[in-house]
A and B are shown apart, each in its own frame.
Chain A
């Protein structure tokens, strides 16, 4: 006796809606989340940036006025350029300081425990609040701060150096210190993954240490550099706290403008700056991802 399989029978009951569209159902939570919390707010921001702003009210009558103000004003357009300049400087400096640090942790320290200890040591400053870390730079860099006192005591300078605090320089110093660890982490991770035998093979094939770094170690750590650069870029481009705390409000970044405009209820103008910032970040990330195919490398 053979039982007829009823799976393929044409008279099978109609599959339920849920069954037929199972993959869409599974996708739905993610899609709904993204639409609700990413697409809609972004669209809203773009929409609001075209609203009409008067001193005390905001009306949904579409106008280009806010956009014209942003690109027409020395102050606001200058802030965009300053943001880009500070971002590039900080990115360059975090890479310059972060890469050798990561190289040391990831390549020269071969003991996994020591590696972990060193990486944790990099993170320890994060156990204090962001504001404290930023404000701690004031007594360091000030006119009567630690650096000036030490330099004067050593007789290296007669007058305190005033450019140290409440300038673009202090903002850059503060940002580099705060964000360099986000560069070190991903790079050290990629470097630690490089198989020792690759370096031995290269050495055996007659390559010098410098060549090995250029042709093997650096290219293999590039995904880490890109990930680190994305971290640093996203955080620096949206920064406002370091800039206001260490520049005495003299250095205005796009983030600072958003904060003050929202504070004075100028929603339309804040939205313009927000859109500009989003576009800049998207362009930066796209550009960085062009350097290396992260999906393949990680």
Chain B
């Protein structure tokens, strides 16, 4: 179990990480979602010991390791660019940690060979040990890098955007593989990514990082359905977020007045999952009772295979997305510039106050 207490780090006066506290459990898959510049890499480097924090403590199983040198921490760090040793074979790369670590190196070459063989088999690279690193593909390099770290049996394995450099097909396969490998070894994975679907799909728990602060730590399911703040809602990339204010029990956005659920307080952001709205038939101007609605102008559609995303423009020019799953209905064609009424269930509305925090009461059932 690893704990971070009030970790902080500034670079040139700008806080990269600010007051970050976190508990990483044993044997879990933890993902960290953050846009670029949110301090993801800094956080990993602090944990790995490649940077020293300005404030705060890092504890591993109750021991303070804040200032312990990297090579004595017993943590694994899989770098984004794989950082394989170019002058060594795959086998020597994987064996590097076993042979050369300062704590308890393995000198028996038969033991090294056996463990390298086992590890390469686990990551699906059996028989490639004598290849040079330059002779394998990007996906294989990724696995070598992972194997090289995992063979040292780290207590926590840090992965810095491990799937970032892979193509879409390979990324999907590695997603499954990574979870399988983690489960087989029972080691904690701390996976950092800027890709929301990766963070949602892979983590047992996920952390949403914004400007060096953890703005939500929860299960992916909870982060997705009830983002704690408007920034978190933005990062999961599945919400339409309208800015405005509450006036006479309606949410005013541009020249539109949107119905509010009860307990709206003084909401400043009105968020709606992109698959929640219905596109009403042409000519409809009022929604069914108990539903909120808005007039919008159709712009374009994007076909994504199993689903299609329609883009509308709100009266103030903001883009509004509506996602339709094609398994339920045939794609409908709309004309560009066409005015349509969009309507949605009030239960699906999330409200955030001016500071960005979610107004919890908005969850309660019942229409205004």
Contacts and interface: CB of A to CB of B under 8 A. Distances in A.
A218 to B, nearest CB: 10
A205 B152 contact: yes
B289 to A, nearest CB: 60
A198 B100 contact: no
Contact of A198 (B72, B85, B101, B149): B85
Contacts of B100: 202, 205-207, 211, 215
Interface stretch (B74-82, B169-177, B199-207, B355-363): B74-82
Nearest to B132: A296
Nearest to A296: B134
Interface in B66-123: 69-72, 74-77, 79, 81, 83, 85-87, 96-97, 100-103
B213 interface: no
A202 B71 CA distance: 8
A201 B148 CA distance: 10
A192 to B, nearest CB: 15
Interface in A165-200: 195, 197-198, 200
B81 A197 contact: yes
B83 A198 contact: yes
Interface string A210-229: 01000110011000000000
A6 interface: no
B50 interface: yes
B87 A204 contact: no
B50 A205 contact: no
Size bracket of the A interface: 10 to 19
Contact of B77 (A198, A200, A208, A216): A200
Contacts of A250: none
A203 interface: yes
Contacts of B77: 200-201, 204
Contacts of A200: 48, 50, 70, 77, 79, 83
The 7 A-B residue pairs whose C-beta atoms are closest, nearest first, are: A206-B101, A205-B97, A201-B83, A197-B83, A207-B100, A204-B77, A203-B70
Nearest to A201: B83
Contacts of B48: 200, 204
Contact of A204 (B75, B102, B103): B75
Contacts of A201: 77, 79, 83, 85, 148
Interface string A40-64: 0000000000000000000000000
29 contacts: A195-B81, A195-B83, A197-B83, A200-B48, A200-B70, A200-B77, A200-B79, A201-B83, A201-B85, A201-B148, A202-B100, A204-B50, A204-B71, A204-B76, A205-B76, A205-B97, A205-B148, A205-B149, A205-B152, A206-B72, A206-B97, A206-B100, A206-B101, A208-B102, A211-B100, A211-B102, A215-B96, A215-B100, A219-B87
B109 to A, nearest CB: 15
Contacts of A202: 85, 96, 100
Nearest to B145: A201
Contacts of A204: 48, 50, 70-71, 75-77, 149
A203 B100 CA distance: 10
Interface residues of B, number: 25
Given A200-B79, A204-B70, 7 more contacts: A200-B77, A203-B70, A204-B75, A206-B152, A207-B71, A207-B102, A208-B71
Contacts of B86: 198, 220
Given A200-B50, A205-B100, A211-B100, A216 B85 contact: yes
Interface of B: 48, 50, 69-72, 74-77, 79, 81, 83, 85-87, 96-97, 100-103, 148-149, 152
B81 A206 contact: no
Interface in A15-63: none
Contacts of B72: 206
A208 B74 CA distance: 13
A58 B71 CA distance: 72
A207 B77 CA distance: 13
A207 B50 CA distance: 14
Contacts of A211: 100, 102
A204 B83 CA distance: 11
A297 to B, nearest CB: 8
B83 A206 contact: no
Contact of A205 (B69, B81, B87, B101): B101
B207 to A, nearest CB: 21
A206 B152 CA distance: 9
A220 B86 CA distance: 8
A136 B63 CA distance: 62
Contacts of A206: 71-72, 74, 97, 100-103, 152
B102 A205 contact: no
A205 B96 contact: yes
A203 B70 CA distance: 6
A120 B77 CA distance: 37
Contacts of B85: 198, 201-202, 215-216
A204 B74 CA distance: 8
Nearest to A222: B87
A197 B79 contact: yes
A207 B101 contact: yes
A204 B157 CA distance: 11
Contacts of B101: 205-207
Nearest to B72: A206
Contacts of A220: 86-87
Contacts of B102: 206-208, 211
Nearest to B70: A203
Contacts of B83: 195, 197-198, 200-201
B12 to A, nearest CB: 15
Nearest to A297: B87
Contacts of A197: 79, 81, 83
Contacts of B79: 197, 200-201
Contacts of B96: 202, 205, 207, 215
